Protein backbone atom coordinates (compact mmCIF):
# COMPACT_ATOMS: atom_id res chain seq x y z
CA UNK A 1 0.00 0.00 0.00
CA UNK A 2 2.91 2.37 0.71
CA UNK A 3 4.29 1.95 -2.80
CA UNK A 4 0.85 2.55 -4.33
CA UNK A 5 0.40 5.61 -2.13
CA UNK A 6 3.75 7.02 -3.32
CA UNK A 7 2.91 6.42 -6.99
CA UNK A 8 -0.54 7.99 -6.65
CA UNK A 9 1.02 11.02 -4.98
CA UNK A 10 3.62 11.31 -7.73
CA UNK A 11 0.92 11.09 -10.41
CA UNK A 12 -1.02 13.96 -8.75
CA UNK A 13 -4.35 12.21 -9.23
CA UNK A 14 -6.22 14.02 -6.47
CA UNK A 15 -6.61 14.17 -2.70
CA UNK A 16 -5.28 11.10 -0.83
CA UNK A 17 -5.97 10.19 2.81
CA UNK A 18 -4.59 7.18 4.70
CA UNK A 19 -6.69 5.33 7.30
CA UNK A 20 -9.54 7.81 6.86
CA UNK A 21 -12.65 7.00 8.96
CA UNK A 22 -15.51 6.38 6.53
CA UNK A 23 -17.99 7.55 9.16
CA UNK A 24 -16.93 10.98 7.88
CA UNK A 25 -18.13 10.06 4.38
CA UNK A 26 -21.46 8.25 4.92
CA UNK A 27 -24.85 9.81 5.59
CA UNK A 28 -25.50 7.41 8.49
CA UNK A 29 -22.18 8.49 10.08
CA UNK A 30 -20.96 4.91 10.49
CA UNK A 31 -17.91 3.12 9.11
CA UNK A 32 -14.35 2.12 9.95
CA UNK A 33 -11.25 3.35 8.13
CA UNK A 34 -10.36 3.08 4.46
CA UNK A 35 -6.78 1.88 3.98
CA UNK A 36 -6.53 4.66 1.42
CA UNK A 37 -9.24 7.16 0.45
CA UNK A 38 -8.79 8.96 -2.85
CA UNK A 39 -10.86 11.84 -4.21
CA UNK A 40 -9.87 12.14 -7.90
CA UNK A 41 -9.46 15.62 -9.29
CA UNK A 42 -10.82 14.70 -12.73
CA UNK A 43 -11.56 11.79 -15.09
CA UNK A 44 -7.91 11.48 -16.12
CA UNK A 45 -6.88 11.28 -12.48
CA UNK A 46 -9.41 8.53 -11.92
CA UNK A 47 -8.22 6.63 -15.00
CA UNK A 48 -4.61 6.82 -13.78
CA UNK A 49 -5.73 5.70 -10.32
CA UNK A 50 -7.41 2.62 -11.75
CA UNK A 51 -4.32 1.81 -13.82
CA UNK A 52 -2.13 1.95 -10.71
CA UNK A 53 -4.62 -0.07 -8.65
CA UNK A 54 -4.51 -2.76 -11.31
CA UNK A 55 -0.69 -2.61 -11.46
CA UNK A 56 -0.48 -3.24 -7.72
CA UNK A 57 -3.32 -5.79 -7.72
CA UNK A 58 -5.12 -3.85 -5.00
CA UNK A 59 -8.79 -4.07 -4.03
CA UNK A 60 -10.91 -0.99 -4.75
CA UNK A 61 -14.35 0.35 -3.88
CA UNK A 62 -16.16 3.38 -5.29
CA UNK A 63 -18.51 5.57 -3.26
CA UNK A 64 -20.31 8.84 -3.90
CA UNK A 65 -21.90 11.00 -1.23
CA UNK A 66 -22.24 8.01 1.10
CA UNK A 67 -26.00 7.53 1.03
CA UNK A 68 -27.56 4.07 0.67
CA UNK A 69 -24.35 2.72 2.19
CA UNK A 70 -23.43 0.80 5.34
CA UNK A 71 -19.68 0.41 5.87
CA UNK A 72 -18.29 -2.23 8.20
CA UNK A 73 -16.90 -1.17 11.57
CA UNK A 74 -13.63 -2.74 10.41
CA UNK A 75 -13.48 -0.43 7.40
CA UNK A 76 -12.65 -1.22 3.79
CA UNK A 77 -9.55 -2.93 2.46
CA UNK A 78 -7.55 -1.31 -0.32
CA UNK A 79 -8.48 1.92 -2.09
CA UNK A 80 -11.79 3.71 -1.63
CA UNK A 81 -12.49 6.09 -4.52
CA UNK A 82 -14.86 8.91 -3.65
CA UNK A 83 -16.50 10.74 -6.55
CA UNK A 84 -16.89 14.37 -5.56
CA UNK A 85 -15.87 17.82 -6.78
CA UNK A 86 -13.47 16.61 -9.47
CA UNK A 87 -16.29 14.90 -11.36
CA UNK A 88 -19.08 17.43 -10.95
CA UNK A 89 -19.21 19.03 -14.41
CA UNK A 90 -22.56 19.81 -16.06
CA UNK A 91 -23.43 20.65 -19.68
CA UNK A 92 -26.95 21.56 -20.81
CA UNK A 93 -27.68 21.36 -24.54
CA UNK A 94 -31.37 21.89 -25.18
CA UNK A 95 -33.19 19.05 -23.46
CA UNK A 96 -30.04 16.90 -23.24
CA UNK A 97 -27.82 17.16 -20.17
CA UNK A 98 -24.44 15.56 -19.54
CA UNK A 99 -23.32 15.48 -15.92
CA UNK A 100 -20.38 14.13 -13.95
CA UNK A 101 -20.75 11.14 -11.65
CA UNK A 102 -19.82 13.22 -8.60
CA UNK A 103 -22.55 15.83 -9.11
CA UNK A 104 -25.09 15.91 -6.23
CA UNK A 105 -28.53 14.69 -7.33
CA UNK A 106 -30.42 17.26 -5.25
CA UNK A 107 -28.39 20.12 -6.71
CA UNK A 108 -28.88 18.80 -10.25
CA UNK A 109 -32.65 18.62 -9.80
CA UNK A 110 -32.70 22.25 -8.67
CA UNK A 111 -30.41 23.55 -11.42
CA UNK A 112 -32.23 21.92 -14.32
CA UNK A 113 -35.67 22.78 -12.94
CA UNK A 114 -34.67 26.43 -13.20
CA UNK A 115 -33.94 25.74 -16.87
CA UNK A 116 -37.54 24.56 -17.31
CA UNK A 117 -36.49 20.97 -17.98
CA UNK A 118 -38.95 18.31 -16.89
CA UNK A 119 -38.35 14.65 -15.98
CA UNK A 120 -35.91 14.85 -13.08
CA UNK A 121 -38.15 16.25 -10.35
CA UNK A 122 -38.69 12.75 -8.89
CA UNK A 123 -35.04 12.78 -7.78
CA UNK A 124 -35.16 16.12 -6.00
CA UNK A 125 -34.89 14.53 -2.55
CA UNK A 126 -32.41 11.74 -3.29
CA UNK A 127 -29.32 12.54 -1.16
CA UNK A 128 -26.68 10.93 -3.34
CA UNK A 129 -24.46 11.53 -6.36
CA UNK A 130 -25.38 11.06 -10.01
CA UNK A 131 -22.95 8.15 -10.27
CA UNK A 132 -24.54 6.34 -7.35
CA UNK A 133 -28.03 7.05 -8.66
CA UNK A 134 -27.16 5.53 -12.05
CA UNK A 135 -25.34 2.59 -10.44
CA UNK A 136 -28.41 1.55 -8.44
CA UNK A 137 -31.13 2.94 -10.73
CA UNK A 138 -32.35 5.21 -7.96
CA UNK A 139 -35.99 6.15 -7.99
CA UNK A 140 -38.87 7.78 -6.15
CA UNK A 141 -42.42 8.96 -6.71
CA UNK A 142 -43.10 6.44 -9.47
CA UNK A 143 -40.06 7.12 -11.62
CA UNK A 144 -36.38 6.20 -11.73
CA UNK A 145 -33.11 6.86 -13.54
CA UNK A 146 -33.83 4.29 -16.26
CA UNK A 147 -36.74 6.45 -17.50
CA UNK A 148 -34.47 9.36 -18.48
CA UNK A 149 -30.92 8.06 -18.98
CA UNK A 150 -29.78 7.71 -22.59
CA UNK A 151 -26.21 6.56 -21.91
CA UNK A 152 -23.55 6.38 -19.21
CA UNK A 153 -19.78 6.76 -19.45
CA UNK A 154 -18.21 3.94 -17.44
CA UNK A 155 -14.64 3.24 -16.27
CA UNK A 156 -14.15 -0.51 -15.88
CA UNK A 157 -11.58 -2.12 -13.62
CA UNK A 158 -9.47 -3.23 -16.59
CA UNK A 159 -8.88 0.46 -17.32
CA UNK A 160 -11.15 0.69 -20.36
CA UNK A 161 -13.78 3.40 -20.68
CA UNK A 162 -17.01 2.94 -22.59
CA UNK A 163 -20.35 4.63 -23.12
CA UNK A 164 -23.15 2.16 -22.35
CA UNK A 165 -26.64 2.77 -23.72
CA UNK A 166 -29.74 2.59 -21.55
CA UNK A 167 -30.36 -0.94 -22.82
CA UNK A 168 -26.77 -2.00 -22.16
CA UNK A 169 -27.06 -0.79 -18.57
CA UNK A 170 -29.64 -3.57 -18.01
CA UNK A 171 -31.64 -1.58 -15.50
CA UNK A 172 -34.20 -3.21 -13.23
CA UNK A 173 -35.62 -2.34 -9.82
CA UNK A 174 -32.75 -0.59 -7.97
CA UNK A 175 -30.13 -2.45 -9.98
CA UNK A 176 -27.94 -2.17 -13.07
CA UNK A 177 -25.31 -4.24 -14.84
CA UNK A 178 -22.64 -2.44 -12.78
CA UNK A 179 -23.72 -4.27 -9.63
CA UNK A 180 -23.29 -7.69 -11.18
CA UNK A 181 -21.72 -8.64 -14.51
CA UNK A 182 -19.56 -5.58 -15.19
CA UNK A 183 -18.34 -3.70 -12.10
CA UNK A 184 -17.39 -0.15 -12.98
CA UNK A 185 -17.51 3.51 -12.01
CA UNK A 186 -19.96 5.99 -13.53
CA UNK A 187 -17.87 8.88 -14.85
CA UNK A 188 -20.69 10.74 -16.59
CA UNK A 189 -24.35 10.31 -17.44
CA UNK A 190 -26.43 11.69 -20.28
CA UNK A 191 -30.13 12.34 -19.65
CA UNK A 192 -32.85 13.28 -22.11
CA UNK A 193 -35.49 15.49 -20.54
CA UNK A 194 -38.53 17.40 -21.81
CA UNK A 195 -39.35 21.05 -22.04
CA UNK A 196 -41.63 22.05 -19.22
CA UNK A 197 -42.86 24.99 -17.21
CA UNK A 198 -40.51 26.12 -14.47
CA UNK A 199 -43.37 27.01 -12.12
CA UNK A 200 -45.02 23.59 -12.48
CA UNK A 201 -41.74 21.71 -12.09
CA UNK A 202 -40.82 23.68 -8.98
CA UNK A 203 -44.26 22.96 -7.52
CA UNK A 204 -43.77 19.22 -8.05
CA UNK A 205 -40.32 19.38 -6.45
CA UNK A 206 -41.68 21.26 -3.45
CA UNK A 207 -44.45 18.69 -3.05
CA UNK A 208 -41.89 15.87 -3.13
CA UNK A 209 -39.66 17.74 -0.68
CA UNK A 210 -42.57 18.31 1.71
CA UNK A 211 -43.52 14.63 1.52
CA UNK A 212 -40.01 13.54 2.43
CA UNK A 213 -39.76 16.07 5.24
CA UNK A 214 -43.08 14.94 6.70
CA UNK A 215 -42.54 11.17 6.37
CA UNK A 216 -38.79 10.50 6.51
CA UNK A 217 -36.27 11.05 9.33
CA UNK A 218 -33.73 13.31 7.67
CA UNK A 219 -33.10 15.00 11.05
CA UNK A 220 -31.12 11.89 12.07
CA UNK A 221 -28.12 10.33 10.33
CA UNK A 222 -29.48 7.53 8.14
CA UNK A 223 -28.69 5.67 4.94
CA UNK A 224 -32.06 6.00 3.23
CA UNK A 225 -34.36 3.06 2.56
CA UNK A 226 -32.96 -0.11 4.14
CA UNK A 227 -35.06 -2.71 2.29
CA UNK A 228 -36.31 -3.14 -1.25
CA UNK A 229 -40.08 -3.19 -1.49
CA UNK A 230 -41.17 -6.86 -1.69
CA UNK A 231 -43.91 -6.00 -4.20
CA UNK A 232 -46.87 -5.97 -4.06
CA UNK A 233 -46.06 -5.21 -0.43
CA UNK A 234 -44.14 -2.19 0.82
CA UNK A 235 -41.24 -2.66 3.21
CA UNK A 236 -42.14 0.25 5.47
CA UNK A 237 -45.77 -0.84 5.82
CA UNK A 238 -44.79 -4.41 6.72
CA UNK A 239 -42.32 -3.22 9.35
CA UNK A 240 -44.81 -0.78 10.82
CA UNK A 241 -47.67 -3.31 10.89
CA UNK A 242 -45.35 -5.70 12.73
CA UNK A 243 -45.07 -3.10 15.49
CA UNK A 244 -41.35 -2.50 14.99
CA UNK A 245 -41.24 1.30 14.68
CA UNK A 246 -38.94 2.67 17.36
CA UNK A 247 -37.31 -0.71 18.08
CA UNK A 248 -33.59 -0.34 18.70
CA UNK A 249 -30.42 -2.34 19.10
CA UNK A 250 -27.53 -0.37 20.52
CA UNK A 251 -27.48 3.04 18.88
CA UNK A 252 -29.42 1.88 15.80
CA UNK A 253 -33.17 2.49 15.79
CA UNK A 254 -36.04 1.84 13.40
CA UNK A 255 -37.34 5.32 12.71
CA UNK A 256 -40.49 6.46 14.48
CA UNK A 257 -41.45 8.26 11.26
CA UNK A 258 -40.91 5.54 8.63
CA UNK A 259 -40.48 1.81 9.13
CA UNK A 260 -38.03 1.39 6.24
CA UNK A 261 -35.45 3.74 7.74
CA UNK A 262 -32.85 2.86 10.37
CA UNK A 263 -31.34 5.90 12.05
CA UNK A 264 -28.15 6.42 13.99
CA UNK A 265 -29.74 7.60 17.24
CA UNK A 266 -26.31 8.12 18.78
CA UNK A 267 -23.13 6.08 18.74
CA UNK A 268 -24.52 3.35 16.50
CA UNK A 269 -22.12 0.82 15.01
CA UNK A 270 -22.46 -1.04 11.74
CA UNK A 271 -22.96 -4.20 13.78
CA UNK A 272 -25.91 -2.58 15.57
CA UNK A 273 -27.50 -1.85 12.18
CA UNK A 274 -26.76 -5.35 10.87
CA UNK A 275 -28.27 -6.94 13.98
CA UNK A 276 -31.36 -4.77 13.57
CA UNK A 277 -31.65 -5.72 9.89
CA UNK A 278 -31.47 -9.40 10.85
CA UNK A 279 -34.14 -8.92 13.51
CA UNK A 280 -36.45 -7.20 11.02
CA UNK A 281 -35.95 -9.94 8.42
CA UNK A 282 -36.71 -12.70 10.93
CA UNK A 283 -39.78 -10.92 12.29
CA UNK A 284 -41.31 -10.20 8.87
CA UNK A 285 -40.64 -13.74 7.68
CA UNK A 286 -42.28 -15.20 10.77
CA UNK A 287 -45.29 -12.87 10.75
CA UNK A 288 -45.99 -12.54 7.03
CA UNK A 289 -43.90 -15.22 5.29
CA UNK A 290 -42.23 -12.46 3.26
CA UNK A 291 -38.49 -12.49 2.52
CA UNK A 292 -36.96 -9.02 2.93
CA UNK A 293 -33.95 -8.03 0.81
CA UNK A 294 -31.74 -5.08 1.63
CA UNK A 295 -31.57 -2.07 -0.66
CA UNK A 296 -28.77 -0.44 1.33
CA UNK A 297 -25.36 -1.57 0.09
CA UNK A 298 -23.36 -3.31 2.81
CA UNK A 299 -19.61 -3.20 2.20
CA UNK A 300 -16.27 -3.60 3.96
CA UNK A 301 -14.31 -6.10 5.99
CA UNK A 302 -16.27 -8.91 7.64
Question: Which residues neighbour 262 within 8 Å (Cβ) at sequence distance 6 or greater?
Answer: 28, 222, 223, 226, 252, 253, 254, 255, 273, 276, 277
Catalytic residue among 174, 176, 188, 190: 174
Q: How far is CA 278 from CA 57, 66, 230, 247, 283, in A?
A: 34, 22, 16, 13, 9
Stretch (H or E) spanning 236: helix 235-241
Please state the separation of Cα 194 from the chain's center in Å: 25
Catalytic hit among 113, 124, 225, 255:
225
- Stated as kind and residue range, the H or E segment containing 286 is helix 270-288
Pairing type for strands 248-249 and 252-254 reads: antiparallel
146 belongs to the catalytic site = no
Distance CA 190, CA 283 (A): 42
Q: What is the DSSP string of 138-177?
A: -EETTEEGGGTEEEEEEEETTS-EEEEETTTTT-BTTB-G
Q: Is 85 helix (H, G, I), strand (E, B) or coil?
A: helix
Q: Is 181 a catalytic residue?
A: no
| Residue tagged active-site, from 20, 188, 190, 295 | 295
Give the Cα separation of 185 and 155 in Å (integer).
5
37, containing H or E segment: strand 33-40
> Is 174 an annotated catalytic residue?
yes
Which residues lie closer than 8 Å to 201 by C-beta, 6 or more apart?
Answer: 113, 116, 117, 118, 121
What number of helices (H) and strands (E) belong to the chain? 7, 19
**Residues annotated as catalytic (active site), given as ranges:** 174, 225, 295
Amino acid sequence: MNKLFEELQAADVGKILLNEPLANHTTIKIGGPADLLLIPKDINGLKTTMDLIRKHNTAWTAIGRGSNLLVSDKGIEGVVIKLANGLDHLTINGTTITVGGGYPVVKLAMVISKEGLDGFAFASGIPGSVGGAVYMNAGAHGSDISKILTKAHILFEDGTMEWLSNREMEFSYRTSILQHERPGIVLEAEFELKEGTKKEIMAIMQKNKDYRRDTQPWNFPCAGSIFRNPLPNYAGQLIESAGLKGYSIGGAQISEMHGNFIVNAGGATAQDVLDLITYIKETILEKYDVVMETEVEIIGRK
